[in-house]
Amino acid sequence: MAFRRAKSLLSMGSALSLGALLAAGLAGAGSLARAQVFVVGEKSAMADVSTDFHPTRVELSTNPIDERGRRELIRDLLAEQGFAHRALPLGEDLVLVANGSLRPSGDGYKEMLYKKGQSAAPGDRVVISAVTVKADRIVFDLNGGPYLKHRFLRHIELDGMPIVSPDDEYVTGCRVTLLFEGGIPEVSAPEVKALLDPIIDFGVKTSAEAYADSLPQFLKDAINQHDVLVGMNSKMVLAAMGPPQSKVRELVPGSTDRHYEEWIYGQAPQTVRFVRFEHDRVTQLRIAALGKPIATHDKNELRGYLDGENPDTTREIALGDGEADKGSSGPPTILKPGEVAPGSSQRVRLPVSLPDTPPDKTTPAPAAPSPTAEPGNPSAAAPANQPVADAPEDKTADAPNTSTH
């Protein structure tokens, strides 16, 4: 009887649970029927992306660029920083025609962003990590470029485990191609930056540009034309020419302690410039052009600028250079006056300090230690604080001889 009651209760509970599950399923189906489904597509994802484009109007030269101009473009544009004017896509398919259109543009630009992803948002800082100058185009890699650098360690495994994880780096850069129809003309780095303005803003001044803006107008013109004038300091030369390809340090002819430093720009057979510095001033400029005699400039060309500064106050600290400081008592040491280094055989004579006033004569001198008393020495037996009595005279020596025979 008890067994039948338990079986009936169990069957009743299973029926209730099945009904509850069926009711919950019907309720969920009703809620799903009333819910809205959102599908994120290209139009919704790229709705806020602006594709407005305004071509540039930069006057370019008709002369083709030479090898020296190619090297200067690479040197002046590499590692330059700017800010993205628009969202930049990952990949290498972005082509900007000089003073022309952008390819792709409009909906094609949005499609590239949607499919490949975004490398930089508007206003993000971008860095030119590589510059390649070809016959009719200049290729810029931004933020590392569209490809990962090849590492041979990715192909090596030990016991089935890779030495380098394959997921330790990700592509974050893009590639922009500046196309010149008809070939690259003789163009400078500021002009290239102006041509890239629809994509990147290089309006932020570098330290060299900010320093050049503080100079007189004739020096600004010389720096903009990449000219070196005799009398310039190293900061002016760096602003005009950038870092040199090599440097040479030599003794001034006829001197044993004065040095000059020569900065060398260019490489044969192109024009080579030798800029000589003494005390951080250009004292000589030699220009060696192909097929021409070497032109030498050694007269000051700054029109009196920087004449108030004395370059002789600049002193180089180097081993063996210059003279010792006047008044110097020797090499620096951590010993106190009168101390001797451990293990040194040098003997130091300490100075004797004398009293400022002579001692008082009325003050009795300290008593000397009394010697040992001896027979026949009356001074030894006498106290130290009493005068010693005179010894009795020997009268027998002076007395007359009264003896009778």
pLDDT tens profile 160-191: 887 766 655 677 899 999 999 989 999 999 99
Please check the confidence at residue 87 and state whether its pLDDT lies above 60: yes
Under a CB-based contact definition with an 8 Å cutoff, are residues 176 and 89 in contact?
no
Token duo for residue 320:
């063996």
Token duo for residue 88:
């930049």
Q: Does any domain span residue 31?
A: no
Please check the confidence at residue 390 and state whether its pLDDT lies above 60: no
* 316 CB neighbour count, 10 Å cutoff: 11
Token duo for residue 207:
């330290």
Q: Are residues 224 and 302 in the same domain?
A: yes
Q: Does any domain span residue 58?
A: no
pLDDT at residue 85, rounded to an integer: 86
Q: Are residues 193 and 137 in the same domain?
A: yes
Q: What is the extent of the structural domain holding 236?
A: 208-313
pLDDT > 70 in the chain, percent: 64
For residues 358-370, average pLDDT: 56
Q: Are residues 173 and 274 in the same domain?
A: no
Cβ density class 198-225: b for 16+ within 10 Å, e for less = bbbebeeeeeeeeebeebeeebeebbee
Q: Does any domain span residue 352?
A: no
Domain stop point among 313, 339, 367: 313
Please check the confidence at residue 45 and state whether its pLDDT lies above 60: yes
pLDDT at residue 381, rounded to an integer: 45
Question: What mean pLDDT, rounded, does the chain reach?
Answer: 76
pLDDT at residue 404, rounded to an integer: 47
Q: What is the CATH number of the domain that holds 248?
A: 3.30.1450
Q: Are residues 75 and 188 in the same domain?
A: yes
259-265 vs 272-278, strand pairing mode: antiparallel
Q: Are residues 76 and 191 in the same domain?
A: yes
Q: Are residues 227 and 240 in the same domain?
A: yes
pLDDT digits over 331-350, tens only? 777 888 778 778 776 665 65
Domain stop point among 313, 333, 356: 313
Amino acid at 368: A
For residues 306-329, average pLDDT: 54
Domain stop point among 256, 285, 313: 313
Indicate the pLDDT class of residue 298, thresholds 50, 70 and 90.
Answer: very high
Q: Are residues 149 and 213 in the same domain?
A: no
Rounded Cα gap, residues 284 and 152, in angstroms: 49
**82-86, 254-258, 357-361, 389-393: segment of lowest average pLDDT:** 389-393
Q: Are residues 306 and 191 in the same domain?
A: no
Indicate the pLDDT class of residue 276, thresholds 50, 70 and 90.
Answer: very high
Indicate the pLDDT class of residue 54, thresholds 50, 70 and 90.
Answer: confident
pLDDT at residue 265, rounded to an integer: 93
